[in-house]
Chain A
Amino acid sequence: MSDRLMPDWTLGAQAIVYQYCAACGGVQYFRRSFCSLCGAPDPVERCASGEGSVYATSLVCRAATAETRAHVPYNIVLVDTAEGFRMMAHGDNDLRVGDKVRARYTQFAGRLIPYFGRVDESGA
């Protein structure tokens, strides 16, 4: 599997990658060499659109390391993506559960991470 890894934010690239199982149609976010739903080998890697909605949020005001403390407060969010998997990222501090969001990328504690901003009703 390693020679076919699509670069994503965990590898420093501006992308959110997930895996699709051709056997059962399931999707998963955490990379594996098999489908965790049905066990079939070699799920296909796909690039996500970055569209989704907010499932949960928590505004971190007390961080545990010097690098992360420089960023407080920062909003940890769980996003339900358009592709059907859930992921953790950062987002606007005022995001609320259910908000429609779109991903961009930002630097956090020396790394590239996905950051979700609210998509307003006009679709901007």
Chain B
Amino acid sequence: MSFISGVGLTPYGRHDGCSSLDLMSKAAELAISDAGLKRREIDGVLCGYSTVSPHIMLATVFAEHFGIQPAYAHAVQVGGATGLAMTMLAHHLVEAGVVRHVLVVAGENRLTGQSRDASILALAQVGHPHYEVPLGPTIPAYYGLVASRYMHDYRVSEEDLAEFAVLMRLHASSHPGAQFRESISVADVMASKPVALPLKLLDCCPVSDGGAAFVISREPTSQMRVRVLGCAQAHTHQHVTAAPALNKLGAEIAIARAKQQAGLDIAGVRYAAVYDSFTITLAMLLEELGLAGRGEAASRVRSGYFNRDGAMPLNTHGGLLSYGHCGVGGAMAHLVETHVQMTGRAGNRQVRDASIALLHGDGGVLSSHVSMFLERVR
């Protein structure tokens, strides 16, 4: 067994003067203290990457900076799926008895550490260097392609996609750490600047500074007993040109494997934390995961199904779309919020029942998928 024994999250947005290591350290400190542990008790470190400060050995750079000498440490790179992939690895490491407490950490000064152009350019390099990148695509364009096909196949409209941006903003409005908290409407999303049509500015997550961390332990370290029930991955392609189909993704494969491992059905899930780099990402993944029928996720948003007091509260911190996106840490905030909800510490955002949670992350252009079920153990 493995438990998420502690979590840490900085506000997302501007952290002027903070390096990636500073943001990682802040989040790590919060997570270790949340777990009730001392630094020296951390014997494993898994970290993500930093596009602002790339390094071939970021985990040891971090460990030295933070002042620990772990028995196991390395970085992991699976794009936006990195946070959940690290959690899955940490789960297996503690189950196998390799280490007792793994610190999973990421942080990046992506907003203030580089220009927006540099950020967009760095990310566009996930495209094929010979067959895609020379054509000038951007990350929003890769997802714009996905959106155009999905909208065509399942009769989803731009207004439908806008609902997801509005919902994430609504949720962010009650989290003091969120980058964007002013309420927006479907009309605001529709009127926002075109980025890569059909995606407009408010369909896209922002670029943020921030850090997130958790500790995965073999035994619970406190009364907060949140256990990993099952997790699985699927990797179907890297480049959007080589994707098997843009209306059927690896998410379906990953969730099927995770359900089998956890012995769970979607009906058992009480809280959902789903990757939302763009509105289309969230819409598609909800439908792939079985949290809505094909083409029906937007109507579920309109009916309040995914609201804090709805049947399936979703990304109650505001997701990447409104809490913010600082790279690997971006989607780790989903797990931090899930943990806070599961342990009844979400204050004015607290949902009625988050006893079983489903988390899903995606990396690349819907290339890499990680699904995970967490359970609150009483």
**B-binding residues in A (CB < 8 A):** 10, 29-31, 55-65, 68, 71, 73-74, 76-78, 86-90, 97-98, 108-109, 111, 113
Assuming A30-B131, A63-B136, is B194 touching A58 (CB within 8 A)?
no
Provide the residues of chain A in CB contact with B141, threshold 8 Å: 58, 60, 76
Query: Which of B136, B138, B145 is the one whose CB lies under 8 Å from A78?
Result: B145
B144 is an interface residue with CB less than 8 A from chain A:
yes
Given contacts A61-B197, A73-B197, A76-B141, 5 further A-B contacts (CB under 8 A): A55-B246, A58-B144, A58-B198, A61-B195, A88-B240
Assuming A59-B196, A86-B241, is B138 touching A29 (CB within 8 A)?
no
A65 adjacent to B117 (CB under 8 Å) = yes
Provide the residues of chain B in CB contact with A59, threshold 8 Å: 144, 194, 196-197
Query: Bound complex: CA of A68 vs CA of B133, how far in Å?
Result: 11
Within 8 A of A (CB), among B134-157: 134-138, 140-149, 152
**Interface secondary structure of A, over-half rule:** strand
B69-77, B120-128, B283-291 - interface stretch: B120-128
B120 adjacent to A64 (CB under 8 Å) = yes
Query: Bound complex: CA of A62 vs CA of B142, how far in Å?
Result: 13
CB A50 to nearest CB in B, in angstroms, measures 16
Provide the residues of chain B in CB contact with A30, threshold 8 Å: 128, 130-131, 239, 241-242
- B152 (CB) vs chain A CBs: closest residue: A97
B135 adjacent to A76 (CB under 8 Å) = yes
Query: Bound complex: CA of A52 vs CA of B138, how far in Å?
Result: 24
B138 adjacent to A97 (CB under 8 Å) = no
B132 is an interface residue with CB less than 8 A from chain A:
yes
Assuming A60-B138, A74-B136, A88-B241, is B131 touching A10 (CB within 8 A)?
yes
Provide the residues of chain B in CB contact with A65, threshold 8 Å: 117, 121, 136
Query: Bound complex: CA of A78 vs CA of B145, how far in Å?
Result: 8
B199 is an interface residue with CB less than 8 A from chain A:
yes
Provide the residues of chain A in CB contact with B134, threshold 8 Å: 10, 108-109, 111, 113
Assuming A74-B136, A88-B131, is B197 touching A97 (CB within 8 A)?
no
Can you show 9 pairs from A to B with CB atoms below 8 A apart? Answer: A30-B241, A58-B198, A59-B144, A59-B196, A62-B195, A76-B135, A78-B241, A87-B241, A111-B134
* B234-254 contact mask (Cβ, 8 Å, vs A): 1 or 0: 000001111000100000000
B345 is an interface residue with CB less than 8 A from chain A:
no
CB A85 to nearest CB in B, in angstroms, measures 9
Query: Bound complex: CA of A55 vs CA of B132, how far in Å?
Result: 15
Within 8 A of A (CB), among B143-195: 143-149, 152, 193-195
CB A56 to nearest CB in B, in angstroms, measures 4
B149 adjacent to A76 (CB under 8 Å) = no
